Amino acid sequence: IDLSSQVVRTVVSLKVENNGPDSASEILLPFPEHVAKNLAFLEASVSEGKGKTKGSSDSLPIKVVNPEGMPATLSWYSVALPKELGKGGNLNLEVKAVYSHILRPFPEKITQADIQLVAFQDGAHYLSPYAVKVQSLTVKLPEPKVESYTKLGNTKFSGSEIKYGPYENLPPFSYSPIVVHYVSNNPFAVARNLVREIEISHWGNVQITENYDLVHAGAEIKGEFSRLDYQTRPHVRGASAFRNLLAKLPPRAHSIYYRDEIGNISTSNVYSDSAKTLLEIEPRYPMFGGWRTAFTIGYGLPLRDFLFQSEGKRFLNISFGCPMSDVVVENLTVKIVLPEGSNDISVSVPFPVKQSQETKFSHLDMVGRPVIVLEKINSVPEHNQYFQVYYRFSNISLLTEPLMLIFGFFLFFVACVIYTHADLTISKSSASYLAKLQWDEVQSTIQQFQSIMNRSLIVHDKLEASLRDLSRTGDVQACKAARKAADTLLKELAKEVKPLLSFLQSSSQAAQIFPKVEELVAKERELQEKLMLKHSTVVDAYEKKSSGGRDIENRVASVQQKITLLRQEVDDLLEIIDEI
Amino acid sequence: MVATKMEKPAADLLTSPGVSSLFKSLKLKTKQQELLIRVAILCLVYVLAFITRLFSVLRYESMIHEFDPYFNYRVTQYLTRNGFYEFWNWFDSESWYPLGRIVGGTLYPGLMVTAAFIYWTLRFLSFAVHIREVCVLTAPFFASNTTIVAYFFGKELWDSGAGLVAAVLIAICPGYISRSVAGSYDNEGVAIFALLLTFYLFVKAVNTGSLAWALASAFGYFYMVSAWGGYVFIINLIPLYVIVLLIRFVGFQHVQSGEHMAAMGVFFLMQLPPIVAYMKAGIGRREWLLPVQINLLSGFLVVSLFASLPCLLKNFSEVSHSVINMPSISTLVQVFYFLDWVKFLLNDPKKFHTFLRITVTSAVALGAIALGVGTASGFISPWTGRFYSLLDPTYAKDHIPIIASVSEHQPTAWSSFMFDFHILLFLFPAGLYFCFKRLSDATIFIVMYGLTSMYFAGVMVRLILVATPAVCLISAIAVSATIKNLTQLVRAKSKPAPVGSGKGTTSTKAPSKGYYGKVLAGFILVWSQKLVSEFSAKPLKLDLENGFNGLLTSPFVGKINTKQVNEDRSISEKNENTSINMDNKGSLDQSPPFQKNGAIALLFGAFFLLSRYVIHCTWVTSEAYSSPSIVLAARGAHGNRVIFDDYREAYFWLRQNTPPDAKVMSWWDYGYQITAMGNRTVIVDNNTWNNTHIATVGRAMSSYEDEAYEIMRSLDVDYVLVVFGGVTGYSSDDINKFLWMVRIGGGVFPVIKEPDYLVNGEYRVDKGAAPKMLNCLMYKLSYYRFGELTTEYGKPPGYDRARGVEIGNKDIKLEHLEEAFTTSNWIRKMIHRGSIHRSGLGMAARKTTGDTTQEAFDFKQLLNQDGWSNLLQFALHYNCNATTNFCGVLL
């Protein structure tokens, strides 16, 4: 019997011999009622060979039976043997049982400075419906400190072990109670509820969220809690409290968080290597007996480590229990959230669990994700075994959600486009609507007008350029031709302007702009005239070759100045109109 | 819209021949570019406004800050869990024990309903978000929306350039950020959005005369009323604005135009709901009001329906404020109309004057009598203290300690203006100048808004928040207008080159069209001009002044800095001759030389200033406004980050390890947090509606233990929570707040006298402290067993690090209470936390200690920063921390 933690582990090595005439195919294991209800885990296996290579063999199937003629105050389990045991045959069996909640703190309430004492009750003799030839019992304690223990014949206390026996030739159902009252300052961390949610995302992540509802189930604290005492000598004035818990997570765990209802808890550490990730968490306050806390840890795991494929089905292979080695879980709920659209789901768990199914809605779900709910009462670290969930899932459904998003945004943009292009005016005949229409028309007219003006300005530029060419080459004819071309162009433009002007004049909306437009037209005409004047003067001068360049310049200087001025004004006007 | 309008002509032009079409299409492109840039900038501002508020989430975690937001968060949780009707009828028995609180009827539900609505929407769109995330991010989200509203408001007031600048300025203005960082889930977060939206829609309605905008503005106001007590500001500002318009135009033609009627009409209607609500309150007593009410209602059913809802929610004293404040001004407006009508009827000035005299006299007399009777009979409740203190800043200090005890109700110091506005403080008057220069209905409105809110901001620190949008908008006008002027200057200079003008115009036009300059660059002030001129060579200086005085901003200069300008003037006068000569000689449009260079230099100066503003804002946000105040962080000896999480440690202990029906007594500051995080019933909390109850707690804290025990027993108290910072040096603990407890307790119970706790008017906790002080409950709880603790090396045991003294009473024995829990913090030698639990009756006191070093930490940070204003900021920041803290009284 191993009492070194809050769970009691018993390992029974049996050498079974069939003395009877018939061959036996099963062995009965009885447990007293009060122990049986705390029995969390039971496993029997055949230890082959000479006892050293045991454990590797498969565990034998165990079922609850109710054999006739046996005392009803006992709970019976039956182990089916791998092969029938004939007369005189024998077999080495190993039965491992784990109990939780059978250690009783005594006294039940202690002060901050007291150490925690617990009592353990059991029989010194192995309880069995069969006759026992030789039996011995070893009780392992966490510390070599014992308050008291039952002394029977052949009892030996050494170190942190108490030995009873060996006893020989015990009849069936022999019983000899013992009580061990000893010091145990181990954390009695009990999770009243633990909900583990394992969510599979086929984008490459397995997200695990664990909600703990934790209590220190040891002796309750009474009286004051003095921080000062606890701070100065934490191991003396707070021996029964535990400060931290260690969770052993799979390797490559990432995005680890540790928080509770009111936010992040900053006291945690992560150590990781290639074989595991260790998460050390510290509750917000030291946990004394009877104090409770609640928190959530979460982490992500790479999908490829846990999801495999076989025979066209996918299966998830992940551990069942709580990752903390010294926490007993009273109600463990494991929820496996499969991706939306999974079907053909089956589960294989190595021990009996209660199974049900529900649906969860997460991001962008239409029909919800199938959730397998597995419930297990009284879970101990031994339950931390791998289990499998098989399901079918097509890769195409992976794309539904991004496509939905894309489609959503597409619709949004389409709606925007429609909104900007559609005319949503209710009353098409209202004054303001008509005014707006008219205003649009005026605007487009003005744009045309502006373009014409700019074109004529470009013509002006061409004229100037032809003058420069003239001064360089002296080609009077070409210059004249340029003037002619420009002249016709300008006339055409003037013709184009006329309808626009008359429209603007007639439109009431343009009343504000029209004076400017008119001014611009006038200025432009003036500019045009001056330019022509300058052009003809210069050309004339060249034709006559009467005077030098300086003379020409002098003659056009006054015109030139006016042109510059006008040009400036025209530009300004254009800009003003543009701004309107 | 703009883009689509332009497309058609563009297509036309492309078909037309020649270079001109190319030119034209190029030009169109710049316009489209401008639109594109504007939209891009708005989007960037939208995103950045959100991101800049996330410092606390990144540094700490996604959590709710401060005190009030915890209540809001709790209410939102309740709302999302139980639905709207349950929320409406919620009677909260967890606070104000044994009185309880009718939550649904005593809060502004706007924020919670908004958050719940966002939450439900996201849920509907199947996004599995947690309500906490929604609550944490609500304020930044609304801040982003505010920037968009600011853009449109600026556009409505001035031009789109000003709108853009306003959006940028308000996105990062510390005055606004302080109340809208992620996690500060408070009413102001959405209220500023609602405020600005209402004002924008109102101005839009005034400008367009459209009934639709007016209605929208009424809805905006409805939202505002449902979100924050600050709506009183709107309801008073708008009638005031109308009055100013009336005075300005001395006559009624202007305001009688349909535009104004449409905009104002809705707001006049808005007065009715409060009246109706008020009457409904009085119906029980005064049945005769009923017909009047029905008459009033008949025309305005629709409007009153939506508007009366929020008012009904409010306690009726608030309603009566609106009735008194707002209508008193706006009915005046109606009187104007009435008089006008009478004048029209009577036709005879003499008769009219007689009529006027009689009616005015009788109206005044009637009003006075009604007011007197109403007040005396208690029918009209008097103004609350906070309103008095708005008009007279010293009022609260003398009469209502509970208001004065809150640091955010203190008059504002200059340093905090500087801290929260930075360059906007200087830009504000400049912007006012521009507004006055181009007076329109809209600019009058913003000027009124700016001036009144600035006054209120000066009276109370927290009202800086209300002034911020106005300051940003007005400053944006200043920035935009100045930069526009400068860019014009730069452009004008490049034009005079007469030859090759075709190309010249194209190249110069492009920059002039867009607002790039405006957006990128910033702003110019007189002192920047001074700065530039000081650094530049003398001729340039002369020239600058010339250019400015002559062409641009001379009146502006004159307004801001007369002295400087006078000097300038003399110089420029000297130069005038030369420039005139120059003009005559050269071409007419030749500007003074170096003008362009000067303008460019000033643009750079503006750019520099604006970037300083950005740097300042970011720094302030990250250092001062992004701390959750629940969790404190400091640097350890090795530069590592040390987190002090004692508050939550204590609350979580309460939540997990006390009986679910335990009652916790603490000072009211922690009430909301205890109910939200500890999930336990409290005696008083931050909704300070019952002064007597708070005074009882104050009295208990300041009495001897046995007297306090009796009080606590009568209040059924199981646990007492005390915050103590003596171990870590956390200065905003209960010992530092203790004098307020004494004052507030003494205000109701004359047994408690402030002088008993002082020695020669001095507040001490060491050996020289008053005997009553050394033995009162607060002292005993705080320093229980503290005398055995060595807090600092080289100091005697019992050395209080928060106050820097050795405590006076080291041997404290508790008779009735016992320590139940004390939080821990092992990093420094620390915290002793006591909790006290009385055998038999189950009384317990518990003290948590926050911890600090925060102050020291801040100071170091500040010293590292350059600049004079930082020291001032520290002073401010320290003040905020030290006096007391943020309480969450609704305005």
Q: Does B121 touch chain A (CB under 8 A)?
A: no
Q: Does B434 touch chain A (CB under 8 A)?
A: no
pLDDT band at B627 (very low <50, low <70, confident <90, very high): confident
Burial zone of A352 (CB within 10 Å; 0-12 exposed, 13-18 middle, 19+ buried): exposed
Distance CA A443, CA A461 (A): 27
B819: chain A residues, CB-CB within 8 Å: 224-227
B655: chain A residues, CB-CB within 8 Å: 261-262
Query: Does residue B579 register a pLDDT over 80?
Result: no
CA A394 to each of CA A309, A358, A369, A514: distance values in angstroms, whole numbers, following the listed order: 12, 21, 14, 70
Query: Does residue A509 register a pLDDT over 80?
Result: no
Please indicate whether residue B272 or residue A98 has the higher confidence score (pLDDT).
A98
Q: Does B637 touch chain A (CB under 8 A)?
A: no
- Amino acid B115: pLDDT: 94
Facing residue for B648 by CB, picked from A284, A454, A461: A284
Query: Does residue A96 register a pLDDT over 50?
Result: yes
Query: Does residue B497 register a pLDDT over 70?
Result: no
Q: What is the dihedral of CA B564, B570, B571, B572, to 10 degrees?
A: 100
- Amino acid B498: pLDDT: 37
Comparing CA positions, the residue from B640, B650, B639, B622 lying closest to residue B850 is B650
Q: Chain A: residue nearest B498 by CA?
A: A564
Q: Chain A: residue nearest B23 by CA?
A: A454
Buried/exposed A411-426: b ≥16 CB within 10 Å, e otherwise: eeeeeeeeeeeeeeee
Assess contact for B467 and B453: CB atoms under 8 A: yes
How many residues appear in chain A? Answer: 580
A458: chain B residues, CB-CB within 8 Å: 18-20, 23, 502
Query: Does residue B46 register a pLDDT over 90?
Result: yes
Query: Does residue A562 register a pLDDT over 70?
Result: yes
Assess contact for A141 and A180: CB atoms under 8 A: yes
Q: What is the mean pLDDT of residues A399-408?
A: 90
Residues B255, B261, B262: CA angle, nearest 5 degrees: 140
Contact B649 A284 (CB under 8 A): yes
Out of A495-504, B180-189, B837-846, the most confident range is: B180-189
Each residue of B139-198: pLDDT tens digit? 999 999 999 999 999 999 988 899 999 999 999 999 999 889 998 899 988 999 999 999
CA B402 to each of CA A524, B705, B748, B754: distance values in angstroms, whole numbers, following the listed order: 76, 24, 12, 15
Distance from CA of B74 to the nearest CA of A (A): 11
Q: Chain B: residue nearest A220 by CA?
A: B657
Contact B4 A223 (CB under 8 A): no
- Amino acid B269: pLDDT: 53
Out of A526-535, B83-92, B149-158, the most confident range is: B149-158
Q: What is the mean pLDDT of residues A337-365?
A: 89
Q: Does A568 touch chain B (CB under 8 A)?
A: yes
Q: What is the mean pLDDT of residues A167-191?
A: 86
Facing residue for B23 by CB, picked from A294, A447, A454: A454
The token pair at A263 is: 């936010």
- Amino acid A207: pLDDT: 94
Please indicate whether residue B320 or residue B450 has the higher confidence score (pLDDT).
B450
Facing residue for A440 by CB, picked from B5, B652, B833: B5
| Cis amide bond preceding A166, omega within 30 | yes
Q: Could you write out the DSSP letters of every residue in B487-523?
A: HHHHHHHHTT--TTHHHHHHHHHHHHHSSHHHHHS--
pLDDT band at B3 (very low <50, low <70, confident <90, very high): very low
Average pLDDT across chain A, whole number: 84
Distance CA B451, CA B458 (A): 11
Query: Does residue B243 register a pLDDT over 70?
Result: yes
Distance CA A191, CA A7 (A): 13
C-alpha A242: how far from chain center: 30
Q: What is the dihedral of CA A220, A224, A227, A233, to 10 degrees?
A: -70
Contact A458 B498 (CB under 8 A): no
Please indicate whether residue A229 or residue B51 has the higher confidence score (pLDDT).
B51
Distance CA A508, CA A505 (A): 8
- Amino acid B562: pLDDT: 35
B:795-834 residues touching chain A, CB 8 A cutoff: 818-824, 826, 830-834
Contact A361 B126 (CB under 8 A): yes
Distance CA B46, CA B34 (A): 18
Contact B822 A225 (CB under 8 A): yes
pLDDT band at A78 (very low <50, low <70, confident <90, very high): confident
Contact B648 A567 (CB under 8 A): no
Q: Which ranges constitute the DSSP H helices of B300-348?
A: 301-313, 316-346
Distance CA A63, CA A1 (A): 23
B contact test, residue of A215, A220, A226 with most B CBs within 10 A: A226
- Amino acid A299: pLDDT: 94
Sign of the torsion angle spanned by Cα atoms A516, A522, A526, A532: positive
Sheet holding A74-85, edge to edge: A24-32, A74-85, A62-65
Q: Does B496 touch chain A (CB under 8 A)?
A: yes
Q: Chain A: residue nearest B633 by CA?
A: A266
Each residue of A262-307: pLDDT tens digit? 888 888 889 988 888 999 998 888 888 889 999 999 999 999 989 9
Instruction: Tokens 């570019």: give the residue.
Output: B33
Each residue of A195-235: pLDDT tens digit? 999 999 988 899 999 999 999 988 888 877 877 888 777 77
B633: chain A residues, CB-CB within 8 Å: none
A284: chain B residues, CB-CB within 8 Å: 645, 648-649, 652-653
Facing residue for A224 by CB, picked from B643, B819, B826: B819
Each residue of B426-452: pLDDT tens digit? 899 999 999 988 888 888 899 999 999
Q: Is A107 helix (H, G, I), strand (E, B) or coil?
A: coil
Contact B61 A264 (CB under 8 A): yes
Average pLDDT across chain B, whole number: 70
Each residue of B198-224: pLDDT tens digit? 999 988 888 887 778 888 888 888 888
Q: What is the mean pLDDT of residues B533-540?
A: 36
Each residue of B26-40: pLDDT tens digit? 555 567 778 888 999
pLDDT band at B327 (very low <50, low <70, confident <90, very high): very low
pLDDT band at B266 (very low <50, low <70, confident <90, very high): low
Comparing CA positions, the residue from B161, B146, B136, B149 lying closest to residue B55 is B136
pLDDT band at B271 (very low <50, low <70, confident <90, very high): low
- Amino acid A53: pLDDT: 46
Contact A457 B656 (CB under 8 A): no
Poorest-pLDDT segment among A48-57, A419-428, B228-237, B496-505: B496-505
- Amino acid A295: pLDDT: 93
Instruction: Name the percent of chain A lying above pLDDT 70.
Output: 96
- Amino acid A195: pLDDT: 94
Query: Does residue B886 register a pLDDT over 90?
Result: no
Query: Does residue A361 register a pLDDT over 80?
Result: yes
Query: Does residue A451 register a pLDDT over 60?
Result: yes
Contact A228 B789 (CB under 8 A): yes
Q: What is the mean pLDDT of residues B297-317?
A: 35
Facing residue for B652 by CB, picked from A284, A440, A443: A284
Please indicate whether residue B406 or residue B602 has the higher confidence score (pLDDT).
B602
Query: Does residue B236 register a pLDDT over 80?
Result: no
How many residues appear in chain B? Answer: 891
CB count within 10 Å of CB A263 equals 20
A:413-432 residues touching chain B, CB 8 A cutoff: 420-421
Query: Does residue B744 register a pLDDT over 50?
Result: yes
pLDDT band at A387 (very low <50, low <70, confident <90, very high): very high
A:212-231 residues touching chain B, CB 8 A cutoff: 223-228, 230-231
Each residue of B453-489: pLDDT tens digit? 998 888 888 888 999 999 999 999 999 999 988 888 8
Query: Does residue B11 register a pLDDT over 70?
Result: no
- Amino acid B383: pLDDT: 56
Q: Does A458 touch chain B (CB under 8 A)?
A: yes
A198 forms beta bridges with A208, A336
- Amino acid A256: pLDDT: 92
Q: Does B24 touch chain A (CB under 8 A)?
A: yes
Query: Does residue A564 register a pLDDT over 60?
Result: yes
Q: How many CB pairs under 8 A join A and B?
A: 139
Angle between helices B160-172 and B131-157 (to 10 degrees): 150
Distance from CA of B161 to the nearest CA of A (A): 14
Distance separating the N- and C-terminal Cα atoms of chain B: 42
Instruction: Name the percent of chain B lying above pLDDT 70.
Output: 62
Contact A293 B789 (CB under 8 A): no
Distance CA B195, CA B221 (A): 7
